[in-house]
């Protein structure tokens, strides 16, 4: 005998918690298997203390719900402001440029950031390396303490300047990878 949803009057197949797909989704999104969009009071505000934004899902506003879903963190804690990329603190010497090229050769990669900007990333366990790159060339150092890996990243014109500075110091294999990721660079180097 096939199990059916435990909600009175529903004859759909049981999916989870004794509910069918429809009632399970209502519970997951709204906190109540019987609560539909038509019987929701749209005048409600977020249940998190101190937040007066409009209700979105599970008695929370969109921002608090996304945070809860992503991290399962204390929703009463304030949101962290977005970090800004640092500018370089000095003009690097040639030895530091050679050092940075070696680090990028071994641990770095280039890609497109949000499909519109160049991004260079170096991944390392030793954060002092990344902080030195940040000091010399700017950018942002970020990582998760639970994963023991951090990243240094620069985007936009700063990334383009960095890659043009170290390009001639890279191996032919890495140069071809950079050209594939940044086709405009090949034209720029031919005219220079």
- The string of DSSP codes covering the chain is ---B-SSTT--SBP-BTTB-HHHHHHHHHHS-TT--STTS-TT-B-SSTT--SBP-BTTB-HHHHHHHHHH---TTSPPPPPPPPBPPSS---HHHHHHHHHHHHHHEEEEEETTTEEEEEEEES-HHHHHHHHHHH-BEEEEETTTTEEEEEEEHHHHHHHHHHHGGGS-HHHHHHHHHH-HHHHHHHHH-
Domain containing residue 137: 94-191
pLDDT at 125 (0 to 100): 86
Residue 181 lies in a domain: yes
pLDDT at 113 (0 to 100): 65
The domain that contains 161 carries what CATH number? Answer: 3.10.28.10
Residue 29 lies in a domain: no
Into how many domains does the chain fold?
A: 1
Residue 98 lies in a domain: yes
Mean pLDDT per 10-residue section of the chain, whose length is 192 residues: 83 86 84 68 72 76 75 58 70 92 91 72 88 90 76 86 89 86 70 62
Residue 87 lies in a domain: no
pLDDT at 97 (0 to 100): 93
pLDDT at 89 (0 to 100): 75
pTM score, whole prediction: 0.55
Residue 148 lies in a domain: yes
pLDDT at 39 (0 to 100): 46
Residue 141 lies in a domain: yes
Residue 48 lies in a domain: no
Residue 10 lies in a domain: no
């Amino acid at each position: 005998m096939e199990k059916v949803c435990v909600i009175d009057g529903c004859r759909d197949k049981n999916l989870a918690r004794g509910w069918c797909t429809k009632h399970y989704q209502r519970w997951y999104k709204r906190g109540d298997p019987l609560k539909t969009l038509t019987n929701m009071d749209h005048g409600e505000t977020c249940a998190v203390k101190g937040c007066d934004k409009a209700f979105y899902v599970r008695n929370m506003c969109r921002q608090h719900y996304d945070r809860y879903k992503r991290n399962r963190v204390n929703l009463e804690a304030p949101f962290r402001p977005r970090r800004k990329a640092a500018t370089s603190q000095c003009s690097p010497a040639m030895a530091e440029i050679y050092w940075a090229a070696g680090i990028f050769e071994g641990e770095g990669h280039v890609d497109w950031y949000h499909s519109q900007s160049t991004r260079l990333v170096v991944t390392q366990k030793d954060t002092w390396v990344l902080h030195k790159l940040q000091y010399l060339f700017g950018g942002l150092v970020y990582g998760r303490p639970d994963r023991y890996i951090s990243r240094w990243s620069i985007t936009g014109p700063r990334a383009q300047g960095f890659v043009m500075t170290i390009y001639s110091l890279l191996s032919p294999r890495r140069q071809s990878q950079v050209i594939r990721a940044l086709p405009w660079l090949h034209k720029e180097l031919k005219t220079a």
